[in-house]
Structure 1
Amino acid sequence: MTTIEVRGLTKRYGSDVVVDDLSFSVAPGQVTGFLGPNGAGKSTTMKMIIGLAAPTHGIVTVGGRRYQDLPVPLTEVGALLDASAVHGARTAYDHLLALAVSNGLPRRRVDEVLARTGLEGVAGKRAGGFSLGMRQRLGIAATLLGDPRALIFDEPVNGLDPEGIRWIRDFMRSLAAEGRAVLVSSHLMSEMAQTADHLVVIGRGRLIADMGMADLMHANGDGTVLVRTGEPFAHHLTAAGGTVRDGLEGALVVSGLSSTEIGKLAAYHGVPLSELTPQRVSLEDAFIELTRESVEYQGAAA
């Protein structure tokens, strides 16, 4: 099974350290979300994985070999870093055919990947006239030409409409289900929450977190509980160790106590509750908390 291994990866541009002693693995059979604020070093890391940038220190291997040592790289790892990197005057078919021929791949693969990405109906149209969603599909088709076991996608859903986002999400999941190692970067936390099995979070080039989605969410707390009652209750919650803030329409947002504990507390004090709803920690909340010290520019609070 093909695994992407990043070990002690460092990249300097002059005095600037863009990636700093970074180590993580992308395992087969799952989608690994690659997250970090702007300027965290995600794109540079991806470029080093596929040989577009040389590490200052460290090593990256795909299936145990460095990218430059792979006989036919496209058969081992496919990468989509820029969906616009296509000759606009070429048809979708000719774009893929040129890639296949130059990599010694059979012509039949062009038809196969066009069909898999839903592009067979526009195979004869020029890529320059494609929408962003269609260009993303064409880029994904190109990554699949060599039937690689490892795949890398940099911000594949940026600018897409809801249908395009859902298609890419489901497609990433299907690729992982086939046993492929899939690395996906994105700034859309809600999308990563539905797509990724595992998360690698970096900030200022350094590793912040490397864990399963469920573990990351648990590590950042159990969320809050939405409480509604027509009687005074906040002081009881605070006395029991909870933190209370006002929510919408008179609700109380409670942290530090579980819904079970709050329910027992209300019963003990004879306080009737009209709502007691656990609110899970969102991936966005967990991400912001993790990367709080790694954001390049922070606006002042209003």
Structure 2
Amino acid sequence: MNRIDVRGLTKRYGPDTVVDDLSFTVEPGQVTGFLGPNGAGKSTTMRMIIGLVAPDRGSVTVAGQRYQDLPVPLVEVGALLDAGAVHGGRTAYHHLLALAVSNGIARTRVREVLARTGMESVAAKRAGSFSLGMRQRLGIAAALLGDPQILIFDEPVNGLDPEGIRWVRDLMRSLAAEGRAVLVSSHLMSEMAQTADHLIVIGRGRLIADTTMSELTRTSGVGTVLVRADDPDVLTLKLAAAGATVREGLESSLIVAGLTAHDIGKLAAYHGIALAELTPQRASLEDAFMELTRDSVEFSGVAA
């Protein structure tokens, strides 16, 4: 089966446990988003998956084998973990050609991945002159070179402009639609909300959630209700007294958290306050993520 299986993975650096008894599966045919605050252990986990870091305990297999036991890893697993891992003096074409030749991949494949990643026009340029966004595209091209069924991307939209970000989103979706297993991390919650089918959320190296996108936002408990009332000031006082959190929204609306739309309607009716609108707002991925990881953030600030 073309999937990633992580079981009880643990990694320590001195007294610090970076990844702590972590287990999850990345299935084929979908994009799995890998989320967590800075320092949560995402990059270390990805490096353990492809054998760059040895776990202290636990196991990880790709396509049913350890990465280091794969005869030709590049045709089984493609990975972009560091866009800067390229010889700056080589052209984009020769960087990919060196990878192809050393892995027994047909030279014709180089032109194919250059075309798929929009790099044809800069194929003869040296990688050292590329912007971060262009290095990301080159790294994605390298990951696709062996036509693997398993793909791993760590922050692939870093340095990309809006058009590039949309291109990455569409690429991830198309790769999953082809039946590949795609694991991708990103700090852009709005992009993950539009890209991922499944989510793995970790904090301080431990699993927090392993769920679908829709289930996470549905059950997070951080949804709000948009309310418009004839007397918003009085309603705000009554809602606050009932334990709700209220903030001003656009066009004289109220954004209410802590009470359901049903409870808000009953409270307004009891106090004789007419409502013009009462609309539940499903939690965004960002809301759900912040709620899940609020106790796992390494550094937090206080708004002035």
TM-score range, shorter chain: over 0.9
Amino acid at match of 1:299: G
Aligned equivalents of 1:230 and 1:184: distance in 2? 47
SS in 2 for 1:221: coil
Aligned equivalents of 2:177 and 2:62: distance in 1? 19
Deviates more, 1:30-39 or 1:266-275: 266-275
In the TM superposition, what are the counterparts of 1:138-157 in structure 2 within 5 Å? 138-157=138-157
**Segments ≥4 residues shifted beyond 4 Å:** 234-239, 260-270
Kept in 2: contact 1:37–1:203 (CA 8 A): yes
Alignment partner for residue 272 of structure 1, among 271, 274, 288? 274
Within the alignment, does 1:133 sit opposite 2:133 as a pair?
yes
Report the CA distance between 1:284 and its aligned residue. 1.2
Report the CA distance between 1:267 and its aligned residue. 6.2
Aligned equivalents of 1:163 and 1:275: distance in 2? 36
Kept in 1: contact 2:246–2:254 (CA 8 A): yes
SS in 2 for 1:233: helix
Residue in 1 that maps onto 2:114 = 114
Residue in 2 that maps onto 1:281 = 283
Amino acid at match of 1:68: Q
In the comparison of the two structures, how many residue pairs are matched?
301
SS in 2 for 1:274: strand
Amino acid at match of 1:101: V
Q: What percent of counterpart residues are identical?
A: 75
Gaps of 5+ in 1: none
TM-score, with length taken from structure 1: 0.93
In the TM superposition, what are the counterparts of 1:155-194 in structure 2 within 5 Å? 155-194=155-194
- Structure 2 CA distance for partners of 1:13 and 1:235, relative to 1, 3 Å: closer
SS in 1 for 2:59: strand
Residue in 2 that maps onto 1:247 = 248
Aligned equivalents of 2:296 and 2:269: distance in 1? 44
Report the CA distance between 1:246 and its aligned residue. 3.2
Aligned equivalents of 1:84 and 1:41: distance in 2? 20
| CA deviation profile, 1:41-92 (whole Å, cap 9, x unmatched) | 1111000000101111111100110001100000110000011111111111
Alignment partner for residue 299 of structure 1, among 258, 281, 301? 301
Residue in 2 that maps onto 1:221 = 221
Report the CA distance between 1:256 and its aligned residue. 4.3
- Structure 2 CA distance for partners of 1:244 and 1:45, relative to 1, 3 Å: closer
Report the CA distance between 1:255 and its aligned residue. 3.0
TM-score, with length taken from structure 2: 0.92
Amino acid at match of 1:138: L
Aligned equivalents of 1:200 and 1:244: distance in 2? 29
Kept in 2: contact 1:242–1:254 (CA 8 A): no
Residue in 1 that maps onto 2:15 = 15
